[in-house]
Amino acid sequence: MDTSLIPDTLHSSAATYSHNSLGVQPRAAADQLKILLSPEEDLLVSMVTGRYDPAVFRKADWPALTVAAARLGMLGHLARRAEEFSLAGVPGSSLAACVEAWRGQTAFNLLLAHTEKDWLGVLAARGITAIPLKGVSLSRILYRSPAVRSTTDVDLLVPAAQMSTAAEIFEERGYRSALPRALLSRRAFLSHTDEHTAETVYVAERGGIPVQVELHWKILPLQEKTIWNSLVEYDAEGGAVRGLSQAPYLLYLCAHLAGHGWRSLHWLADIAAFLEKFSGRMDAAEFLGHCDRARFRHRVGVTFALLEAYFGMQWQPAKSLVTVRARRAAEGFLRRPLEPASTPGVLEVHRERLRQLDGGKDRLRYLSRLARPTREEWAREDGSLRTTAAAWAIRARRLLNLANGENKPEKIVESDFSSSANRHPQDPAERQAQRPLERPRGTI
Measure CA 130 to chain center: 18
Q: How far is the CB of 18 from other proteins (least distance, A)?
A: 24
Q: How far is the CB of 53 from other proteins (least distance, A)?
A: 23
Q: How far is the CB of 145 from other proteins (least distance, A)?
A: 8
How far apart (Å, rounded) are the C-alpha atoms in residues 93 and 76?
Answer: 18
Q: How far is the CB of 133 from other proteins (least distance, A)?
A: 21
How far apart (Å, rounded) are the C-alpha atoms in residues 282 and 271?
Answer: 13
If the CB atoms of residues 387 and 432 are measured against other proteins, the closer one turns out to be: 432
Residue 316 CA: distances (Å) to CA of 274, 322, 334, 369: 15, 10, 22, 34
If the CB atoms of residues 86 and 185 are measured against other proteins, the closer one turns out to be: 86
Q: What are phi and psi of 216, to 5 degrees?
A: -110, 145
Residues forming contacts to other proteins in the complex (CB under 8 A) are 79-80, 82-83, 99, 102-104, 106-107, 109-111, 113-114, 145-147, 206-209, 433, 435-444
How far apart (Å, rounded) are the C-alpha atoms in residues 61 and 91?
Answer: 12
If the CB atoms of residues 95 and 271 are measured against other proteins, the closer one turns out to be: 95
Tally of CA atoms within 13 A in the half-sphere of 255 that contains its CB: 26
Beta strand 232-234 pairing with 154-157? unpaired
Q: What are phi and psi of 206, to 5 degrees?
A: -130, 120
If the CB atoms of residues 74 and 444 are measured against other proteins, the closer one turns out to be: 444
State the Rg of the chain over Cα. 22
If the CB atoms of residues 80 and 295 are measured against other proteins, the closer one turns out to be: 80
Q: How far is the CB of 108 from other proteins (least distance, A)?
A: 8
If the CB atoms of residues 183 and 213 are measured against other proteins, the closer one turns out to be: 213
Q: How far is the CB of 104 from other proteins (least distance, A)?
A: 7
H or E element that contains 238: none
How far apart (Å, rounded) are the C-alpha atoms in residues 282 and 40?
Answer: 34
